[in-house]
Chains A and B, each alone.
Chain A
């Protein structure tokens, strides 16, 4: 090399002569040095070896020069002919040339000539596409895993499993779950042609021995890829009911993957693609395997959950209070809002039970402190003791004493509060209530004019301490009166600011219910409580039990009361 840099030299010359005049054929020849030296290389040579394809067009659009790289990219392009692919205008262009992806930049040269610099971006774009696809697969797996793990109901879970991969993995997906208990194979598949999700059951025995498809995967626990299927093979891989559907969409390839569930036999996922989709790539096969793994975890969780749920539900059903019976001379209504089962069973109970005395019936409400299965079980046992004692004709205080005696035998950590009472209705329609309150929030009663009064008790709670004596109190209720029993979950419920609802608010709200039917009364009280709490969570069971003594002629309409100016707080509509 001479040490003369062509471009450095050119800059000096540009100041003397217009650049365009020095250009020939679209490229700039090096400036002839002052001292003539034999040229050792030409710019043409440089262009020939460039990886960037260069095509120079005349103003008319015919090719007047192209380098080797351009020849490779545009094999049908020759000097002296027109080439339609690179556009005559614009400054950049992206497109496909045969199987190559290219990106071009257009530069205007002298005399209306122009050049296209074309780069082959196939490899670059392929890497980009692979990254994007990888990201899509990750997102799909994350999304699928989240949705699968949020569902424990078996039927919805299988629906999800078969519909989730619809766009990402296959055109048709089936989940086959073998059951060793009844020897059946249950297959769920999402529709290929818009029909609803289908479920078919077949014998496991015949599937087990199949040379291909679900049965074989069940035996070998290894995936199967069928890159090209005919109808006969398709019929072996999918349930008979689905064959016509799949033929209609021209099913081409299938992938059968075992779903590991740590069971005697795995479940099996079958993915089918139609002719319009691409065949399964290696990455997609591993995506299907990953998906199957997540499905396996979800199926296993669901199975465990259902089993446990069935047990909890059995227990919970035994604890949920039944409908209240009709009793002579009174109207009773209750609201029970248990805290969700996931937190364990609550210990609240209430019931209305018969007594051997004619015209007298008994009621009980109670709360075993704590949560969980032992508490729930003890709560139902307590109720049973109170009920049995009432049917045997024991007075309220005696019933409570019997319950206390039973407590001494059980778990010493269990403590409960309760109210139990008898209600006898006289021929004149008024009622006499005898009740015992052991540490429970004392009842409120509202007279016919809507005045609310509280009762007071000093008896201890039921803790199984030998020698505890419970007292009894009597209350005469005139027709039109209402007695309200409630759990501490009502008055101790706290709103978002930590402020408790309190007895005062309950009394106030009870007064605002004067004249309502007793069902509407408890409903409204519950509603007032919930509105007051707002978004704050309810952390204890809420029980409201109201006993109303109606007027004698059993006329529930109470027209005078409705018109009566009760101390109703000024109400405001809930919204605009």
Chain B
């Protein structure tokens, strides 16, 4: 890490925290003026700053509005860096997008900027682009590969759908981001041709000799003959209602909203856990959610009761009962 760049981190955070676009842009413009390469500014300043923003939002230190403002200013900064960085002539083209259901478009923009520095022409699709839209644009694009980023594991089925449409037309897919689990353990389940730890590794893989020009359709998921996870996700509304009914009535309206939102996420996470055939995801979520509930003075037993209500309604879904029991043990 360069000292010049990382020293500016606090000041940069202060700028984006106040939505001070001019301040943040001037800071970065000065760095680039001093001859710091654009990719270094991205990896040593912008990405750590975003990580800090995420933490401040998670701990409740920053409001949603402030976090969005900071991301917006950071987006401007990334564009400035991308425009200021020379692009070597490109040998290959790639489409960069978020997994359907994941909204961290800034991650795609940063990856695209870093890939361009390495001579890969990157085209960014806006977050919210679905598998259908990807299927329509991909056959006519000049893309040799697709890169799919996923920050939250609940978007993995969306990622899977996108991988399927890309590979169906023979375009290989590279994936990355924390949503794919530690060391990309779920990348294979999603059907990707490869998983990259970071932008640097992504560029290396794409330029490497082992990266396919044309790929075969994504392998089928053997444990999902009838797409059980879809079944669970479709039952979201009745499941959440049953879960809420099973829990002790909550007086505080704010806590009730948290609970309801939490149960919605719980159902989605359970569905993804079944999709991945890996209960770790759901157990980890349960642990995290139980902590949140403790802060709100809701007893853990309440969540256990909600899980029992889920299990009663999901008796027909193979695997759901076992996963819920596993998570119930944590409570």
Q: Do A and B come from one complex?
A: yes
Give A residues with C-beta under 8 Å from B: 147, 150-153, 155-156, 159-160, 163-164, 194, 196-197, 309, 337, 340-342, 496-497, 512-517, 519-520, 523-524, 526-527, 530-531, 537, 556-559, 562, 566, 568-576
Whether A147 and B237, one on each chain, are in contact in the complex, defined by CB atoms closer than 8 angstroms, is: no
Given known pairs A520-B68, A572-B261, A575-B153, the reply for A147 and B132 (CB within 8 Å) is no
Q: Which B residues are in CB contact (< 8 Å) with A156?
A: 139, 142, 169-171
Q: Which B residues are in CB contact (< 8 Å) with A569?
A: 257
Q: Which 3 A-B pairs have the closest CB atoms?
A: A575-B152, A520-B72, A576-B285
Q: Which B residues are in CB contact (< 8 Å) with A515?
A: 19, 65-66, 69
Whether A526 and B128, one on each chain, are in contact in the complex, defined by CB atoms closer than 8 angstroms, is: yes
Cα-based distance from A516 to B237 in the complex (angstroms): 32
Given known pairs A147-B170, A519-B72, A526-B128, the reply for A513 and B65 (CB within 8 Å) is yes
Pairs across A and B, CB under 8 Å, 23 listed: A147-B168, A151-B170, A163-B213, A194-B209, A337-B128, A340-B136, A341-B136, A496-B234, A515-B65, A515-B66, A515-B69, A516-B69, A517-B19, A520-B68, A520-B69, A527-B103, A559-B18, A562-B69, A572-B261, A574-B154, A575-B152, A576-B284, A576-B288
Q: Which B residues are in CB contact (< 8 Å) with A147?
A: 168-170
9 more CB-based (< 8 A) A-B contacts, given A537-B132, A562-B63, A571-B64: A152-B140, A156-B139, A163-B213, A163-B214, A196-B213, A341-B136, A530-B103, A569-B257, A575-B268
Q: Which B residues are in CB contact (< 8 Å) with A568?
A: 63-65
CB distance from B327 to the nearest CB of A (A): 11
Given known pairs A159-B213, A556-B19, the reply for A572 and B69 (CB within 8 Å) is no
Q: Which A residues are in CB contact (< 8 Å) with B321?
A: none
Whether B139 and A557, one on each chain, are in contact in the complex, defined by CB atoms closer than 8 angstroms, is: no
Whether A572 and B258, one on each chain, are in contact in the complex, defined by CB atoms closer than 8 angstroms, is: yes
Q: Which A residues are in CB contact (< 8 Å) with B170?
A: 147, 151, 156, 159-160
Whether B152 and A150, one on each chain, are in contact in the complex, defined by CB atoms closer than 8 angstroms, is: no
Cα-based distance from A574 to B254 in the complex (angstroms): 18
CB distance from A306 to the nearest CB of B (A): 8
Cα-based distance from A527 to B127 in the complex (angstroms): 8
Q: Which of B69, B237, B258 has the most chain A CB atoms closer than 10 A to its own CB?
A: B69
One digit per residue, 1 when the CB lies within 8 angstroms of any chain A CB and 0 when it does not, for chain B 266-288 equals 00110000000000010011001
CB distance from A465 to the nearest CB of B (A): 38
Cα-based distance from A156 to B133 in the complex (angstroms): 18
Is B73's beta carbon under 8 Å from chain A?
A: yes
Whether A516 and B68, one on each chain, are in contact in the complex, defined by CB atoms closer than 8 angstroms, is: yes
Report the count of interface residues on B (CB-CB < 8 A): 54
Cα-based distance from A529 to B161 in the complex (angstroms): 21
Is B37's beta carbon under 8 Å from chain A?
A: no
Residues of B204-222 at the interface with A, using a CB-CB cut-off of 8 Å, are 209, 213-214
Q: B288: nearest residue on chain A (CB-CB)?
A: A576
Q: Which of B18, B154, B237, B258 has the most chain A CB atoms closer than 10 A to its own CB?
A: B18
Given known pairs A513-B68, A517-B21, A570-B257, the reply for A150 and B213 (CB within 8 Å) is no
Residues of B245-274 at the interface with A, using a CB-CB cut-off of 8 Å, are 254, 257-258, 261-262, 265, 268-269
Q: A339: nearest residue on chain B (CB-CB)?
A: B133
Given known pairs A574-B103, A575-B154, A575-B155, the reply for A150 and B65 (CB within 8 Å) is no
Given known pairs A147-B170, A570-B258, A574-B152, the reply for A524 and B68 (CB within 8 Å) is yes
Residues of B25-58 at the interface with A, using a CB-CB cut-off of 8 Å, are 58
Cα-based distance from A341 to B132 in the complex (angstroms): 12
CB distance from B215 to the nearest CB of A (A): 10
Q: Which B residues are in CB contact (< 8 Å) with A526?
A: 128
Q: Which A residues are in CB contact (< 8 Å) with B73?
A: 517
Q: Which B residues are in CB contact (< 8 Å) with A514?
A: 65
Q: Which secondary structure dominates where chain B touches chain A?
A: helix
CB distance from A526 to the nearest CB of B (A): 7
Whether B258 and A566, one on each chain, are in contact in the complex, defined by CB atoms closer than 8 angstroms, is: no
Q: Which A residues are in CB contact (< 8 Å) with B68?
A: 513, 516, 520, 523-524
Q: Which B residues are in CB contact (< 8 Å) with A574?
A: 102-103, 152, 154-155, 265
Whether B19 and A562, one on each chain, are in contact in the complex, defined by CB atoms closer than 8 angstroms, is: yes
Q: Which A residues are in CB contact (< 8 Å) with B132?
A: 340, 537
Selected contact of A562 from candidates B18, B151, B154, B281, CB within 8 Å: B18
Q: Which A residues are in CB contact (< 8 Å) with B258?
A: 570, 572
Cα-based distance from A337 to B153 in the complex (angstroms): 25
Is B149's beta carbon under 8 Å from chain A?
A: no
Q: B23: nearest residue on chain A (CB-CB)?
A: A557
Cα-based distance from A354 to B72 in the complex (angstroms): 27
Selected contact of B269 from candidates A163, A309, A497, A575, CB within 8 Å: A575
Cα-based distance from A302 to B44 in the complex (angstroms): 45
Is B193's beta carbon under 8 Å from chain A?
A: no
Is B90's beta carbon under 8 Å from chain A?
A: no
Cα-based distance from A566 to B64 in the complex (angstroms): 10
Q: Which A residues are in CB contact (< 8 Å) with B171?
A: 156
Cα-based distance from A514 to B289 in the complex (angstroms): 28
Q: Which B residues are in CB contact (< 8 Å) with A194?
A: 209
CB distance from A446 to the nearest CB of B (A): 12
Q: Which B residues are in CB contact (< 8 Å) with A572?
A: 258, 261-262, 265
CB distance from B5 to the nearest CB of A (A): 24
Cα-based distance from A405 to B315 in the complex (angstroms): 65
Whether B213 and A575, one on each chain, are in contact in the complex, defined by CB atoms closer than 8 angstroms, is: no
Q: Which A residues are in CB contact (< 8 Å) with B237?
A: 497
Residues of B160-185 at the interface with A, using a CB-CB cut-off of 8 Å, are 168-171, 179
Cα-based distance from A562 to B14 in the complex (angstroms): 13
One digit per residue, 1 when the CB lies within 8 angstroms of any chain A CB and 0 when it does not, for chain B 71-94 equals 111000000000000000000000
Q: Which A residues are in CB contact (< 8 Å) with B65?
A: 512-516, 562, 566, 568
Cα-based distance from A515 to B65 in the complex (angstroms): 6
CB distance from B323 to the nearest CB of A (A): 14
Given known pairs A150-B139, A572-B262, the reply for A523 and B64 (CB within 8 Å) is no
Whether A523 and B63, one on each chain, are in contact in the complex, defined by CB atoms closer than 8 angstroms, is: no
Cα-based distance from A211 to B265 in the complex (angstroms): 70
CB distance from B16 to the nearest CB of A (A): 10
Is B20's beta carbon under 8 Å from chain A?
A: yes
Q: Which B residues are in CB contact (< 8 Å) with A531?
A: 103
Q: Which B residues are in CB contact (< 8 Å) with A566?
A: 63, 65
Cα-based distance from A139 to B162 in the complex (angstroms): 25
Whether A570 and B261, one on each chain, are in contact in the complex, defined by CB atoms closer than 8 angstroms, is: yes
Q: A313: nearest residue on chain B (CB-CB)?
A: B140
Cα-based distance from A225 to B261 in the complex (angstroms): 68
Is B141's beta carbon under 8 Å from chain A?
A: yes
Given known pairs A530-B128, A575-B152, the reply for A557 and B169 (CB within 8 Å) is no
CB distance from B70 to the nearest CB of A (A): 9
Q: Which B residues are in CB contact (< 8 Å) with A558?
A: 19
CB distance from B284 to the nearest CB of A (A): 6
Whether A557 and B19, one on each chain, are in contact in the complex, defined by CB atoms closer than 8 angstroms, is: yes
CB distance from A2 to the nearest CB of B (A): 64
Q: B141: nearest residue on chain A (CB-CB)?
A: A153
Q: A520: nearest residue on chain B (CB-CB)?
A: B72
Q: Which B residues are in CB contact (< 8 Å) with A530?
A: 103, 128
Cα-based distance from A160 to B144 in the complex (angstroms): 12
Cα-based distance from A159 to B212 in the complex (angstroms): 12
Cα-based distance from A194 to B209 in the complex (angstroms): 9
Q: Which of A163, A496, A530, A576 has the most chain B CB atoms closer than 10 A to its own CB?
A: A576
Q: Which B residues are in CB contact (< 8 Å) with A155?
A: 142
Whether B139 and A151, one on each chain, are in contact in the complex, defined by CB atoms closer than 8 angstroms, is: yes
Cα-based distance from A196 to B214 in the complex (angstroms): 11
Cα-based distance from A255 to B69 in the complex (angstroms): 63
Q: A572: nearest residue on chain B (CB-CB)?
A: B261
Q: B287: nearest residue on chain A (CB-CB)?
A: A576
Q: A497: nearest residue on chain B (CB-CB)?
A: B237
Q: A518: nearest residue on chain B (CB-CB)?
A: B72
Q: A162: nearest residue on chain B (CB-CB)?
A: B214
Selected contact of A151 from candidates B66, B169, B269, CB within 8 Å: B169
Cα-based distance from A519 to B64 in the complex (angstroms): 15
Whether A557 and B269, one on each chain, are in contact in the complex, defined by CB atoms closer than 8 angstroms, is: no
Q: Which B residues are in CB contact (< 8 Å) with A164?
A: 214
Whether B169 and A150, one on each chain, are in contact in the complex, defined by CB atoms closer than 8 angstroms, is: yes
Q: Which A residues are in CB contact (< 8 Å) with B72?
A: 516-517, 519-520, 523
